[in-house]
């Protein structure tokens, strides 16, 4: 009996985690986001089905993105992916840099729903 309960618990956990990427993606697409980085920058972000654009003033930078296993990868042609760990905190998301190079360039990011 214990083994059956344990197997059910693991199965439900795996299914729940595998669905997190889709739910996160849909949630990110449903809002415009205010982004505050630990490197001192602040800007907005808008997520489409496969793309995200970050806007600061009149400058916009776009990426393709993928969400998998609790991480978001921002993809640019011919460059290494920029990977953040995704942590949901209430209505906000935290994007934690996965290495020092990313942290130094972009910082850790906090995304809050825009009131616009």
Percent of the chain with pLDDT over 90: 75
Residue carrying the six token digits 């992916």: 81
More confidently predicted of 17 and 79: 79
Q: What is the pLDDT of residues 46-66, one digit of tens each?
A: 999 999 999 999 999 999 999
**CATH code: domain of residue 102:** 2.40.128
Question: What residues make up the domain containing 27?
Answer: 2-113
CA–CA distances in Å: residue 43 to residues 8, 33, 58, 93, 116: 43, 8, 11, 15, 14
Residue 10 has pLDDT above 60, yes or no: no
**What backbone torsions phi and psi does residue 28 show, to the nearest 5 degrees?**
-65, -35
Query: Could you tell me the pTM of the whole model?
Result: 0.78
């Amino acid at each position: 009996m214990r083994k059956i309960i344990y197997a059910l618990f693991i199965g439900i956990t795996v299914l729940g985690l595998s669905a997190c990427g889709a739910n996160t993606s849909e949630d990110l697409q449903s809002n415009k986001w205010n982004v505050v980085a630990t490197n001192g920058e602040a800007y907005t972000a808008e997520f489409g089905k496969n793309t995200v654009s970050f806007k600061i003033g009149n400058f916009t930078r776009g990426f393709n993105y993928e969400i998998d296993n609790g991480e978001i990868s921002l993809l640019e042609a011919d460059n290494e992916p920029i990977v953040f760990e995704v942590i949901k905190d209430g209505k906000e998301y935290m994007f934690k840099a996965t290495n020092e190079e990313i942290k130094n360039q972009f910082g850790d990011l906090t995304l809050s729903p825009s009131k616009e």
